[in-house]
Amino acid sequence: MAIHPPADRIWWNEKLTAPEVIWISVAFVWGLIMFFAMIYWHAVGDQNLSNEAYKISPEVFAERTEAMVEKYKVREEGDTGIPVVRPPAGSDIYMLGRLWEWWPILELEKGQQYRLHLSSMDWQHGFSLQPANINLQIHAGYEMVITITPSETGEYSVVCNEYCGIGHHTMVGRIYVVDKKK
Amino acid sequence: MAIAAVFRTCPDTGLKVHSHAENLIKANAVVAVIFLAVGGFFGLLVALTRWPAVHLLPADAFYLVLTAHGANVLLFWILFFEVAVLYFASAILLNSRLAMPKVAWGSFVLMIIGAVIANVAVLQGESSVMFTSYPPLKAVPHFYLGLILFAVGMLGAVLVFFATLVIAKDEKTYEGSVPLVTFGAITAAIIAVFTLASGAVILIPTWLWSMDLISEVDPIIYKVIWWGFGHSSQQVNVAVQVAIWYAIAAMVLGAKPLSEKVSRAAFLLYIVFLQLASAHHLLVEPGISSNWKVFNTSYAFYLAVLGSMIHGMSIPGAIEAAQRRRGLTQGIFEWLRKAPWDNPAFSGMFLSLILFGFLGGITGVVMGTEQINLIIHNTMYVPGHFHATVVAGTTLAFMAITYLLIPLIFRRELVFKRLAKWQPYLFGIGAAGISLFMMGAGTLGVPRRHWDITFTDAPLTVEMPGTAFLMMGLNGVFAILAAIGGLAYIVVVVGSVFFGKHRDEAVAKANPVIFDGGEAVTQYGSEGTIRIPGTIVLVAIFFTSFVLYYFVNWKYLSEVWPLR
Ligand code: HEM
Ligand SMILES: [Cu+2]
Ligand SMILES: [Cu+2]
């Protein structure tokens, strides 16, 4: 029994039965398949994280974000005072996380590519784009750059899903995806 | 050490039981159960707060209680119980005395002091940093100090375990190789050393940082090392829990592993690939290369997963073989239908095996896939997944073995036998429910560790789908069920330990706990003629679910915004 020393002292010479051999082989091959699936997706899939990241100070990142806002601000969101920014398709766009907001609001065109830069001003935050359900971890001092292509028009929320203190559940942002201007 | 060893002979097994080993097992198990009671209660409060219609606690209390829940159950309950299991698997199963009882008691006291200090820190309110305590969030210094003391104590206990193995070998208290269960415990202990060392390496500088003696702790390096502790300790849990599955199958049914070789090799795979798993928590982090992520998240080529899949066949296979030996040979599943479903040790063990495999194992591999993690990271899916592994799997397995430890080690008969009979089902179904509904909510985007998914106080409106609210409500309902199951466990354990009938030799003879089916069952090995068609069917169902669920998630991923 499993609670006694093996009855068969030379247990390492036991022969395996067919079901054992088959299952171990199947499971092993399945592991290989799952491993290569990730590599395959890097080659042909459309959803991969870039490995592009930089060390950056929060101040510098904030400056770049503010510069973008200055240049491309189109309006303010209701009476919140939060700027809505519409940078040209194909450009570099910035969103920063800080206690407790994702800033600014971005307005993007469907089907266009943007290089999205993300970083935090203070603690760790979770960039969770809803309802698309894309989730990224954002740190202060690190700038993450990914190229996104919004594929559906609509109003998207950015929720913080990394605990960041008592205001965590109020930390939200927004991205509008609109049709291309004729 | 000059403590005279005092032994009794176990009427059930004929093994010598060292009094220090016995008392330490009792002490660690009892303290574990206290932390489960406290931590489980916090868990219920958390679930009731996350039930949108109830929304029990205010925000600050919620984050405090959530921190306390994670620490008390995941660290204190599990690790105290594991110490008890380590002593059981060494001193008791090897028929030996326990090495260095003074160190063992010292470790025990240190662990309690550490756990209490950490709890005080959390309850004081300035340390609601979650049990992961990611910098730059800062807790009070004694929060980290408590965890460090706890880890050092645990390290002491692991040392006692290894020393006991050496003594048993020296004093030739057993013949041949150690039992498979002990082998599993050795696996766990080896991983635990790595785990606890990682914990110390990262928590000590963080503690210094909390006292302003160090200016900065890099949050990404912190995560890499912290999860070397946090995730590898889950590997410890898996190893212990699998060892318990084998132990219960052996004790209740006389099941012998199909193949010692295969089962031991499967444990070895855990050791070899233990250090890699912290990647699971870093898949969507900036500044870490995909090469590193892919290699580490898959434990090379899913070789540690291979280990678990092997156990997933060999344990039901061992049970089936034993049952068939006994004459339960009708059809494919008579052996399973006529299993001792009213013995809570067995039912708890089998539920734990099934729920861990189907709910916890499959989802863990899926969400640990580098790219699929993008649609899961930090959503409710994550706690959904690990309540399947660590609650429905590990906790339920620990509960199940308790029903054997009470007669064997505490030498008491169970009280409230009817309640005990139902307990694994109540808790198992409750735990399965919270896992499933949290995962469901996660796929709909509900964030974890979050007080308010109506976002009432947020400057912008956010609309979560109605089904997400439904899921969180159902999670609350099943949380109540799990809490009732947990309470039933505590009532039975406390009742039996303090008021159960003393189990003297006569009682033990009349009411044996260890299966005694003679040679026929225990002698069966893989070289025999017995087939295990039922197990093959179970494994085939498992594998089909695994493959389907895996590819469904790739499909989901392929539908989100292209990004690169
Ligand atoms: C009555 C039983 C339990 C219930 C109802 C319960 C419920 C919950 C809920 C609702 C969450 C919060 C998820 C979130 O908001 O992010 C949670 C978190 C957690 N639970 Fe449980 N749980 C129970 C038992 C356990 C047990 C036995 C363990 C460990 C062995 C455990 C480990 C954890 C951990 C580690 C967390 C994460 C805390 C964090 O995010 O920092 N739970 N639980
Ligand atoms: Cu945040
Ligand atoms: Cu947050």
Q: What is the pLDDT of residue B95?
A: 92
CA A153 from centre of chain: 19
The CA-based dihedral angle spanning residues B110, B115, B117, B120, taken in that order and rounded to the nearest 10 degrees: -160
Checking if the pLDDT of B31 tops 80, the result is: yes
Q: For residue B458, which of A65, A150, A82 has the smallest C-alpha distance?
A: A82
Residues of B in contact with A123 (CB under 8 A): 136-137
Chain B residues lying within 8 Å of A165, measured CB to CB: 137
Is-above-0.90 flag for pTM?
yes
CATH number for B14-230 (one of 3.40.50.10490, 1.20.210.10, 3.10.180.10, 1.10.357.10): it is 1.20.210.10
What does each C-alpha distance from B451 to A171, B74, B131, B382 come to in angstroms?
Answer: 11, 21, 17, 16
Closest Cβ opposite residue B445 in set A46, A131, A144: A131
Ligand nearest to the CA of B71: 1
- For chain A positions 91-120, those within 8 Å of chain B (CB to CB) are 101, 105, 118
| Fold agreement (B14-230, B240-558) | yes
Of A10-19, B127-136, B256-265, the one with minimum mean pLDDT is A10-19
Task: Provide the CB-side half-sphere exposure for B48 (13 A, CA).
Answer: 16
Estimate to the nearest angstrom the gap between the alpha carbon of B506 and the chain centroid. 35
Q: What is the pLDDT of residue B1?
A: 42
| Whole-number Cα distances in Å, B255 to B14, B47, B186, B316, B523 | 19, 39, 21, 9, 9
For B136, nearest residue in chain A (alpha carbons): A123
| pLDDT band of B113, cuts 50, 70, 90 | very high
B387 lines ligand 1 (CB under 6 A): yes
- Note whether B235 and B194 are within 8 A (CB): no
For chain B, say whether A136 makes contact (Cβ under 8 Å).
yes
Q: Is the pLDDT of residue A35 over 80?
A: yes
Q: Give the mutation candidate from A3, A129, A177 for the B interface (greatest B CB count, under 10 A).
A: A3
Report whether pLDDT(B461) > 60.
yes
Q: Is B92 left (phi over 0), alpha (psi -120 to 50) or beta?
A: alpha
The pLDDT value recorded for residue B529 is 52
Average pLDDT over residues B102-106: 97
User: What DSSP character marks residue B9?
Assistant: E
pLDDT at A11: 82
Length of chain A: 182
Confirm or reject contact between A32 and chain B (CB < 8 A).
yes
Residues A82-111: tens digit of each pLDDT: 999 999 999 999 999 999 999 999 999 999
Work out the mean pLDDT of chain A and round it to a whole number.
93
Our mutation pick for probing the ligand 1 site, out of B143, B391, B402, counting the most ligand atoms within 8 A of Cβ, is: B391
User: Which of the ligands is closest to the CA of residue B452?
Assistant: 1
Query: For residue B496, what pLDDT is reported?
Result: 96
Which ligand 1 atom sits nearest the alpha carbon of residue B67? Answer: 41
Q: Which two tokens stand for residue A13?
A: 């010479």
Question: CA-to-CA distance for A91 and A83, rounded, in angstroms?
Answer: 18
Query: pLDDT-based confidence at B258, cuts 50/70/90?
Result: confident
Residue B296: pLDDT band with limits 50, 70, 90: confident
ipTM exceeding 0.90, yes/no: yes
pLDDT in tens, B538-550: 999 999 999 999 9
Show Cβ contacts of residue B472 under 8 Å, excluding neighbours closer than 6 positions: B50, B51, B52, B380, B437, B441, B446, B453
C-beta of B277 in contact with ligand 1 (< 6 A): no
pLDDT at B276: 64
The Cα B276–Cα B299 span in angstroms is 6
Closest CA to B89 of B258, B248, B260, B230: B248
Q: B206 burial class (0-12, 13-18, 19+ CB within 10 angstroms)? A: buried
The CA B389 to ligand 1 mean position distance, Å, reads 11
Q: Are strands A114-120 and A105-109 parallel, antiparallel or unpaired?
A: unpaired
Which of B173, B251, B564 to mutate to probe the A interface, most A CBs <10 Å?
B564
Q: Which pLDDT score is estimated for B457? A: 93
> For residue A116, what is the DSSP state?
E
Residues in chain B: 564
Token pair for B218 = 């890099």
Residue ranges of alpha helices (H) inside B356-465 are 362-367, 381-387, 396-405, 417-443
List chain B domain ranges: 14-230, 240-558
Q: Give the tens place of pLDDT for each residue, B52-63.
A: 999 999 999 999
Q: How far is it, in rounded angstroms, from Cα A74 to Cα A149?
A: 21
> What is the spatial distance between Cα B230 and Cα B224, in angstroms, rounded to a whole number?
10
Residue type, A125: H
Chain-chain contact of A15 with B526 (C-beta, under 8 angstroms) = yes
Confidence of residue B298 (pLDDT cuts 50, 70, 90): confident
Any ligand 1 atom below 6 A from CB of B391: yes
Give the Cα separation of B119 and B122 in Å (integer). Answer: 5
Mean of pLDDT values over A2-28: 87
Mean pLDDT of the residues in chain B: 92
Q: Residue B536 has what pLDDT?
A: 95
CATH topology of domain B240-558: Cytochrome C Oxidase; Chain A (1.20.210)
Angle, helix B19-50 to helix B59-69, in steps of 10 degrees: 150
Confidence of residue B2 (pLDDT cuts 50, 70, 90): very low
